Chain A
Amino acid sequence: MIENRPGLNLLAHLTLMLGVAIVALPVWVALVASTHTATDFMSGTIPIWPGPHLVENYARMLDAGVSTSGTPPVGTMMLNSLVMALLIACGKIAISITSAFAIVYFRFPLRNLAFWCIFITMMLPVEVRIVPTFQVVADLGLLNSYAGLSIPLIASATATFLFRQVFLTIPDELTEAARIDGAGPLKFFRDILLPLSRTNIAALFVILFIYGWNQYLWPLLITTSSDYYTIVAGIKRMADAVDGLPQWHLVMATAMLAMLPPVAVVIGMQRLFVKGLVETEK
């Protein structure tokens, strides 16, 4: 439907502006809050315009953190989050692309059962199985470790399903041509499937990185040592200040910093990401 009426254009733009305002306002408030000092919040109102303490607040968070709430400097938490998000994103992609490869291209007994088992786990998110998962991770001695942070979240039915759909769109004749060209299964996987799903891998990486970065409940449960705090869980700990008011200006500065890596990933991979979501031709 292509209409060209000024009235409709105006309406469309107003709707979009409203949408942007709804999304951007909290970010603006956080940004403004991170440029004030603790005393500016005493009155109970949040300032609407930026204050002069931006550099000071951010430098303090990056350098020392808030020792009263027991959190390490933001740098350490950012690094922990980065390691966790990368391990989860890469691990999920690696595991799901190989399982999709097995399910689509090999005829083995109970193949359909395997697929349905994977598919059914989509109905069991982390929160549902969190107690038994915690038990397993604790018994394996993985509390307070990168392995404990990432491995329980690393299997992905959604990604497996997505790669299965991608592989199903690759024409059979291409597989047959590769067979005649003498490409064994692994060579076929490396030379044909991987390059052809490049854009899908990129799109999935963006989504999974953000998923991993935003993990909150799981890191909160299994990290007790501040060396392994992730930034999202760290913000929560900071806001929970005992005997004192939360240091809102510092919490907001941390929140702003926590937003940066996902934004960087989205912007950096935007072109591939969009291509991966809309491209259908193989």
Chain B
Amino acid sequence: MASITLDNVGKVYPGGTRAVGGVSIDIADGEFIVLVGPSGCGKSTLLRMIAGLESISEGTVRIGDRAVNDIEPADRDIAMVFQNYALYPHMSVRQNLAYGLKNRRTPKAEIDRRVAEAAEILQIGPFLDRKPRALSGGQRQRVAMGRAIVREPAAFLFDEPLSNLDAKLRVTMRLEIKELQRRLRTTSIYVTHDQLEAMTLADRLVVLNGGRIEQIGTPLEVYRKPASTFVAGFIGSPAMNLIPARAVPQLPGSAHAGIIGIRPEDLTIAPDGPIAMDVLAVEELGAQRLVHGQTGGERLTVTMPSDAPLSDSLRLAFRPGSLHLFQAEGGRRIE
């Protein structure tokens, strides 16, 4: 159990490509942090620097009160869960779990106790003597997590652990990871590109873009007050409508903002609403429908109940206080 501090951490590859720059985060003991961003935003690189699999070119990483920049991954007291599970294919599940402990010269009895405990927590007891290839994807992922748990590390690092699972299993495993982390209270850093996974798991989200932090906050803070148009467009599904202010001069704030953001769920049909929309396409989701249209030449998406009346052109009103204003240059939020 430990806090993790990143102080101005950066990664520059030999050849000069910068992958990560100026990242500072204070992660409290027991906190579940999710690093989220599109492909190539540097989130995995950042995680691998914390793990010690990539060298740290700038800044300091501290685990507990120890700077770990020059410490081998094995000695950083962390455990990592990989996207493709990375189980040793020639070892049984039991040997997979025990391997790290054996290398640390943990007494046999202690290894057996921890393996039994992890197997109990993850319900992989019946598979302990099987080889990984005889397991399903979900079971393999459990074993991979078991390998992390038995180490009883200061922190868990997850590198997109659910990406290889099918959609349904992903939802179940997501919940299991959340419950597991609640129970063990181990500091966790989780990398994903899936904003839904990020929202549901995180105590705090770190949204990354182009190797830099766009915003750090609780899922609700990030959702309610996105710090930039990038965050606004990335967090939330369907994505927030970002409309140049000149296309909707009738909206409040459009005079001094460059871009106005409205979440699809904050728009409602109202005969005297300020926004006129021409409907282009409708997506039925069952409980609700997504209506895509155009206003003032700009695309607009609206979420509405599936029984709402539809016509070729609609008038829309927005929920009071739900407009987000952003600067035209750089897209930062205007309060």
Residue tally, chain B, CB below 8 Å to A: 24
Judge if A3 is at the interface, Cβ distance under 8 Å.
no
The answer for the CA separation of A198 and B90 in the assembled complex, in Å, is 10
Is B104 part of the binding interface, using a Cβ–Cβ cutoff of 8 Å? yes
CB of A182 within 8 A of CB of B74, answer: yes
* B111: interface (CB < 8 Å): no
Scan B118-151; emit 1 where CB is below 8 A from any A CB, else 0: 0000000000000001000000000000010000
How far in angstroms is the closest Cβ of chain B from A280?
13
A176-B80, A179-B53, A179-B74 known; A192 vs B100 contact (CB < 8 Å): no
Give every chain A residue within 8 A of B147 (Cβ-Cβ): 177, 181
Q: Is the interface of A mostly helix, strand, loop or mixed?
A: helix
Cβ contact of A176, chosen from B86, B104, B133, cutoff 8 A: B86
Residue B88 interfacial (CB < 8 Å): yes
**Cβ of A248 to closest chain B Cβ, rounded Å:** 51
Asked whether B100 lies within 8 Å of A195 as measured between CB atoms, the reply is no
Q: Which one, A174, A180, A191, A192, contacts B78 given CB within 8 A?
A: A180
Q: Does B223 contact A (CB under 8 A)?
A: no
Q: Is the C-beta of B68 less than 8 angstroms from some C-beta in chain A? A: no
B117–chain A nearest beta-carbon distance, Å: 18
Quick check: B84 and A181 within 8 Å, CB to CB?
no
**Does the CB pair A182–B100 fall under 8 Å?**
yes
Residues A171 and B84 in contact, CB atoms below 8 Å apart: yes
Tell me which residues from 126 to 180 in chain A have a Cβ below 8 Å from any Cβ of chain B.
Answer: 171, 173-174, 176-180
| A173 CA to B159 CA, complexed, in Å | 11
Interface string of B67-86 (1 = CB under 8 A from A): 00000111100111011101
A281 proximity list for chain B (CB < 8 A): 133
Q: In the complex, A43 Cα to B86 Cα: how many Å?
A: 71
Whether A180 lies near B88 (C-beta < 8 A) is no
Contact (Cβ within 8 A) B86 A177: yes
Q: Are B90 and A174 in contact (CB under 8 A)?
A: no
CB of A282 within 8 Å of the partner chain? yes
Whether A256 is near chain B, meaning CB under 8 Å from some CB there, is no
Query: Is there contact, CB below 8 Å, between A174 and B86?
Result: yes
Q: How far is the CA of A77 from the CA of B82 in the complex (A)?
A: 55
Docked pose: A182 CA to B77 CA in angstroms: 10
Complexed CA–CA distance, A281 and B147 (Å): 22
> Is A236 on the interface with B (CB-CB < 8 A)?
no
A178 to B84, CA, bound (A): 14
Contact mask A179-211 → B, CB, 8 Å, 1/0? 111110001000110011010000000000000
Which chain A residues border B84 with CB–CB below 8 Å? 171, 173
Query: CB within 8 Å of A: which of B91-121?
Result: 99-100, 103-104
At the interface, yes or no: B89 with Cβ under 8 Å from chain A?
A: yes
Q: Is the Cβ of B82 less than 8 Å from the Cβ of A196?
A: no
Q: Is the CB of A182 within 8 A of B86?
A: no
B86 touches A196 (CB 8 A): no
| B222 interfacial by beta-carbon distance below 8 Å | no
Q: Which of B51, B52, B99 contacts A181 (CB 8 A)?
A: B99
Across-interface contacts of B82 in A (CB, < 8 A): 173, 176-177
Q: B80 contacts A177, CB within 8 Å?
A: yes
Scan B6-50; emit 1 where CB is below 8 A from any A CB, else 0: 000000000000000000000000000000000000000000000
A123 to chain B, nearest CB (A): 33
In the bound complex, how far is the Cα of B103 from the Cα of A192, in angstroms? Answer: 13
**Distance A187 CA – B103 CA, assembled complex (angstroms):** 9
A182 to B103, CA, bound (A): 6
Cβ-neighbour of B73 out of A174, A179, A196, A282 (below 8 A): A179
CA distance A281 to B89 in the complex (A): 10
With A173-B86, A192-B88, A282-B89 given, is the CB distance from A180 to B74 under 8 Å? yes
Q: Which of A191, A196, A281, A282 has the most CB of B within 10 A?
A: A191
Cα(A122)–Cα(B248), bound, Å: 72
* Bound complex: CA A195 to CA B92 (Å): 13
The interface residues of chain B lying within 8 Å CB-to-CB of A187 are: 103
Interchain CA distance A191-B100 in the complex, whole Å: 12
Q: Is the CB of B89 within 8 A of A180?
A: no
Chain A's nearest CB lies how many Å from the CB of B170?
19
Q: Do the beta carbons of B90 and A171 come within 8 Å of each other?
A: no
| Contact of A173 (CB < 8 Å), options: B83, B90, B99, B104 | B83
A171 and B88 alpha carbons, distance in the complex (Å): 10
Q: Using Cβ atoms and an 8 Å threshold, which residues of chain A touch B75?
A: 182
Chain B residue nearest to A191 (CB atoms) is B99
Q: Is B80 in contact with A180, judged by CB distance below 8 angstroms?
A: yes
The interface residues of chain B lying within 8 Å CB-to-CB of A182 are 74-75, 100, 103-104
Instruction: Taking A171-B86, A181-B147, A282-B89 as given, write out 5 further A-B residue pairs in contact, using a Cβ cutoff of 8 Å, ordered by the A residue number.
Output: A176-B53, A180-B78, A181-B100, A182-B75, A187-B103
Report the 4 A-B pairs with minimum CB-CB distance, sorted nearest first. Answer: A182-B74, A181-B100, A182-B103, A173-B86
Interface residues of chain B, those whose CB is within 8 Å of chain A, are 51-53, 72-75, 78-80, 82-84, 86-90, 99-100, 103-104, 133, 147
* 17 A-B pairs (CB sep. < 8 Å): A171-B86, A173-B86, A174-B86, A176-B53, A176-B86, A178-B88, A179-B52, A179-B53, A180-B52, A180-B74, A180-B100, A181-B100, A182-B103, A183-B99, A191-B88, A196-B89, A281-B133
